[in-house]
Structure 1
Amino acid sequence: MTARRTVDDATDTPTAPDAAPARVGYGALLRTPGAWTFLAPAFVARLPYAMLGMGILMLVTGTGGSWGTAGTVTAVAAVAQALIGPQTGRLADRYGQATVLVPTVFVHAASVAALIVLANGHAPAWSLCLAAVPAGASVPQIGAMVRARWVAKLGAEGASASSAAKVGTAFAFESVTDELTFVVGPILAAKIATSVSPSASLITEAALTFVGGLAFAAQRRTAPARIVPRPGAQRVSALASPGVRLLAGAILGVGAVFGGMQVSVNAFADSVGQHAAAGTVYGIFAGGSMVAGVLYGVIAWRRAVQQRMITSYTLLVLGCSTLWAMPNLVTLSIAGLVCGLAIAPTLISGYTLVETLVADGAKTEAFTWLTGAIGLGLAVGSMVAGGLIDSHGPSAGFLVPAVGAGLGLAALVSLRHLLAPSGGASTVVAGSGAGAGTVPAAAEPQLVGAAKG
């Protein structure tokens, strides 16, 4: 089944700036025809995203490696994911999601198997890092692909305040789903690693990725139309937008929070003789974000999304600044919960903004740059936190979330003028309330035609 379109087909029907904010509930969103056909397999395929880092940490330490080595191997996998993920997103925009996703999950299963064999064979650290490259690079970018499907599905209803509100709610729902995977994933990985074996944890991760990825790829009817450039036309990357670069840089700080928390919570729990509790503590942190995401999605916001992101990011910095001083797992869980409350609003705002800054044919890539930025920040955060823990103790690792978030906020505040859409890249702005609505479609004569992928 094919579809033909050009980017000039969209119309500019801006909403009145003083119109009351539209609000769309989750129930109405989930009743969108065809939504569950891709949401269900997407959840299965996304769950391992939060299991991979925890699984690698527990595999390396469980087979005799140090926290520094474990953090480095985890970081290598995350860097590979951050650098290659946007390229797979760009290919998905061009050739279709299924075409990219199917070979990706096969590569992931094989590379995770190689990492398990090497770790259990007490191979040198450099070989573990080498195996971690394809393992991280082949993590399927399901979250970005699902968001692109929502934009395509809801954008087909036409540019209006209602469709804009639906996309905003969809992004909130996706953030909640992401956080749910971060609640369930680490706990599941830790439970399997401690009750069965560290290897079994990564085997489960690879199996879920493989099965969920193939099932998601099979849902071709809901895939966004791929944009085919005219012969000889140069394809412009989503990263060419200064606003996209700023958001990716700011989201690096959020990734540093994730990475620093993962390693530091594990090390802290281990230092007090409660290693199995690490997944629960990290899950509470992610649970706070999930709750905030649910609330964010049901509020009809009047404040502009740029202001919302700066506010939530400021709260994130304040929350992270207390983590290093927590004396036990109970207080650490409470502090992590408070810190997590700012995560989802920050990420929802970031994905909302990036959708307004790029044209239709680059949305999957744009979303993947933010996802990749999280992974890259996680990589750096894991590596730095692991080194600090080895040399100064587990509490020192919690300095990484505070510093990483602080740098991200500084970049966001100082360059916030770059977040205003120039010429309107999107027909539907993913948000609600003031500052949300519709934006003129970007004229892109080099992009013609589309086919379902």
Structure 2
Amino acid sequence: MYLPAVGSPADSGGTRPGTVEIRSSRPRAMTQNPSSPSLLRLAGLPYFLIAFVARLPFAMMVVGVLTIVVTARGSLSMGGLTSAAVGIGTALIGPFLGAAADRYGQRPVLAAAAVLNSAMLGIFALVVYSTMSEAFVMLTAFAIGATAPQVSPMSRSRLVTIIDDRMPEPQRPRTTSATMSYESAADEMVFVFGPFLVGALATLISPWAPIALASALTLLFVGAFALHPTGRHVSASRRADGTAPSRASELFWPVLLVVVVGIFGVGLFFGATLTALTSFMADRDAAEQAGLLYGVMGIGSAILALGVAWLPVRFTLHARWLLFAAILVGGSVLVISASTIPAMLVALAILGVGVGPTLVTLYSLGAARSPLGRSATVMSMLGAGVVVGQAAAAAITGELAERAGTGPALLMPLIASAIVLAAAVVNRLLTPMQR
């Protein structure tokens, strides 16, 4: 049995008597050559391009499903429920795909998911335009989410493996932080561009066009991501020292679960903010512009997420979580008080400062606390936490806005931010207990 580390050497101040540091799921390189190659050189530029495009279909799925259902079936309510079914499928099955990747390697899991998900997207389009019942439409949407390839968690796990295996010890903490910054920024950019692409294709061609494109991109780019040489590296090196993975029960350590709770709060924040903002703009007869305002937060969040890599190592992951969660709470207070669009834009810009670095910090903590041989599982758990939180908050906030109005709906981002901050406090309290 070993105790989880607290993020990086900066978190614990180095090894202390009585403290056992968590081991990676990969054998660690012992070389200390300061002229070792960068991660970009080790993975290769094509890897980052493929991984970026491969996560685009997932960002298109939920909005694409909503668009095609509303158009073909003429029901906004059904469209929302169908989109939620996609999220539920991803949240329930995603962690099991991560566990399968930890056990059998990423290549077979991703290749199978790419084929199945591409097929399910095509089947869904046929089902929606047919006379089949709403229940069958919902079931097919659930299957889309259940087979969705976990590109983002797999990419994080794959890159952390390369860092641990092929980079000197002194470079690992900062390189890991920079990697998580890039990955989070890539997710932010994809989730800003994905819905925009869906809207453009649906308007210029047809509502089925985004689903068709997502199907093609899944088959081609997720397939390429699965077959990339880095996938073979992960599968080959994962048990190179003959070490068996940790017990599944270690996934339920309090210091890991508190990170899952924190990222669930971030998912709640995303869903609540977008839905409340839509209600805010609908009161001004401009609901269609809600996505543009939301983009202010998304773009700022992506830029700040990249900036986390430049923060000093002395600024520990615990301190970052506390600080940026507090900024998130402050920005949410401004959202409640905003009565004009310029005031709302200021509040959203401040929220972008808080949410991007918070997401990077949580993924960095998750990577550091992953039990031996369970990194893909942990990353999938974190990804599922965001999806579940986003779907739940969107449903709750939408119902609240419809029944009670925009004012109460604007309270939801503050509640979500408070959950993130409370988890940060609990995380800080848990840490001394393991020393």
Shorter-chain TM band: 0.7 to 0.9
Give the Å deviation of 1:108. 1.3
- Contact 1:192–1:198 (CA under 8 A) maintained in structure 2: yes
Q: Which has the higher contact order (CA 8 A, sep 6+)?
A: 1
Aligned residue type for 2:175: K
Aligned residue type for 1:182: F
Greater Cα shift, 382-391 or 170-179: 382-391
Whole-Å separation in 1 of the counterparts to 2:259 and 2:243 = 31
The aligned residue for residue 62 of structure 2 is 53
Aligned residue type for 1:285: M
2:373 to 357, 361, 369: 361
The aligned residue for residue 183 of structure 1 is 192
1:200 to 200, 206, 209: 209
Q: Tell whether 2:53 aligns with 1:44.
A: yes
The aligned residue for residue 128 of structure 2 is 119
Deviations 1:18-67 (A, max 9, x none): 9xxxxxxxxx8554323323211110111222222222333333345555
Whole-Å separation in 1 of the counterparts to 2:310 and 2:84 = 35
The TM-score normalised by the length of structure 2 is 0.82
Whole-Å separation in 2 of the counterparts to 1:412 and 1:314 = 9
1:388 to 378, 397, 400: 400
Give the Å deviation of 1:199. 2.2
The aligned residue for residue 413 of structure 2 is 401
Whole-Å separation in 2 of the counterparts to 1:251 and 1:210 = 29
Deviations 1:53-91 (A, max 9, x none): 222333333345555443332222212211211111111
- Contact 1:107–1:138 (CA under 8 A) maintained in structure 2: yes
The aligned residue for residue 285 of structure 1 is 297
Q: Tell whether 2:183 aligns with 1:171.
A: no
Q: Tell whether 2:259 aligns with 1:247.
A: yes
Aligned residue type for 1:366: V
1:312 to 313, 319, 324: 324
Whole-Å separation in 2 of the counterparts to 1:295 and 1:176 = 10
Aligned residue type for 1:206: S
**Structure (1/2) with the larger helix percentage:** 2
- Contact 1:39–1:146 (CA under 8 A) maintained in structure 2: no
2:42 to 30, 33, 39: 33
Give the Å deviation of 1:250. 1.4
Whole-Å separation in 2 of the counterparts to 1:60 and 1:45 = 24
Q: Tell whether 2:104 aligns with 1:95.
A: yes
Give the Å deviation of 1:318. 2.3
- Contact 1:356–1:421 (CA under 8 A) maintained in structure 2: no
Whole-Å separation in 2 of the counterparts to 1:132 and 1:217 = 24
The aligned residue for residue 108 of structure 1 is 117
Whole-Å separation in 1 of the counterparts to 2:102 and 2:270 = 28
Whole-Å separation in 2 of the counterparts to 1:272 and 1:413 = 38
The aligned residue for residue 80 of structure 1 is 89
- Contact 1:94–1:228 (CA under 8 A) maintained in structure 2: no
- Contact 1:186–1:283 (CA under 8 A) maintained in structure 2: no
- Contact 2:245–2:374 (CA under 8 A) maintained in structure 1: no
Whole-Å separation in 2 of the counterparts to 1:185 and 1:421 = 43
The TM-score normalised by the length of structure 1 is 0.79
Whole-Å separation in 2 of the counterparts to 1:362 and 1:246 = 17
Greater Cα shift, 258-267 or 303-312: 258-267
Q: Identity, % of aligned pairs?
A: 27
- Contact 2:259–2:423 (CA under 8 A) maintained in structure 1: no
The root-mean-square deviation of aligned C-alpha atoms, in Å, is 3.2
Structure 1: 5+ residue runs without aligned partners?
1-6, 8-12, 19-27, 424-453
Structure 2: 5+ residue runs without aligned partners?
3-7, 15-36
SS of structure 1 residue aligned to 2:321: helix
SS of structure 2 residue aligned to 1:303: coil
